[in-house]
Structure 1
């Protein structure tokens, strides 16, 4: 019986026994949620607003993990924030979900699912294809973020506050993430030879 090719980069390096594999999924989701939280604390000075590295981490993890593990990682991240752990950029707690970033948090989950889905179909092996998927994910994050801002602060603020300040940095992060995972595949393939 032939072994099916790995659907994600993580699956290509994960243990093969079922018990060890499921334990590794739990460790990977925990590690991923911590990485997303840390990336949210890394602030890069940029005009007109500073940028965090959260979307970069989310796109890299989603492409490396595939859809199911990416969504599990984001669910764990959201749970950690909801119970009060300071994993979000400005803290944590259930009340945080009523703040101005709620739309972006929802967008993170949807974008991770999209990028993970694309990775499951092999698009993570090609930087240009992965960049296109990451751009779609970026558009989803910005659209949901702007929609929430429009709901909370008014439609006139949606584009000015919710989209405009983030376009340039988010495109750069989508491109960086699109370069990292295909390079990871090349490294993994070298070790299999």
Structure 2
């Protein structure tokens, strides 16, 4: 007997008609990219890379949207930034991709894809499973961020600047995202009854 694949929160709530569903998805991608941008403006000062709420927003979006929409949202965010819109923490434009945050931006995409993939398989309904996936995504973000900092500033700075200041806050954000999305499922299920 074949099992029905799990659907992300957004997929389960989307309208039935194709036109309405794709219009909803388009609006959500735009909204998600704006949410990531706003979350990037909420900063705790660190140098060379500030700590922001972006990873929290990215994990919640990915777990809620699923892999395809999460990747589309991150792609929209990066295109908006490359086009010069001030969506990144310290601005926008193509030159931003040569700065110290490039590794983190790449990590955001991979982490969103991973968490979205897990949501498509039902991990978004279990806080512990989602937290484990978010922790892996956090490790990817920090690894790529540190690798880029090592290239730009030297290997001796990679851990001190690229990982150390963010471990505690990023684990907390991964846990918050893992708690919020399953709670959203529970609330939605109450209204369906």
Considering the TM-score relative to the shorter chain, is it more than 0.5?
yes
Inter-partner Cα distance in structure 2 for 1:100 and 1:128: 32
- Aligned ranges 1:24-103 → 2 under 5 Å: 24-44=24-44, 51-103=51-103
Q: Which 5+ residue runs of structure 2 have no aligned equivalent?
A: none
Inter-partner Cα distance in structure 1 for 2:43 and 2:148: 23
- Matched pairs, number: 188
Aligned CA distance change for structure 1 residues 74 and 50 (closer, same or farther; 3 Å) = closer
Q: 1:108, CA displacement in angstroms?
A: 0.2
Partner of 2:119: 119
Q: 1:52, CA displacement in angstroms?
A: 1.1
Q: Which 5+ residue runs of structure 1 have no aligned equivalent?
A: none
Q: 1:190, CA displacement in angstroms?
A: 1.1
Q: 1:192, CA displacement in angstroms?
A: 1.3
Partner of 1:171: 171
Q: Give the TM-score of the pair, scaled to structure 1.
A: 0.94
Partner of 1:109: 109
How large is the RMSD of aligned CA atoms in angstroms? Answer: 1.4
- Structure 1 runs, 4 residues or longer, greater than 4 Å off: none
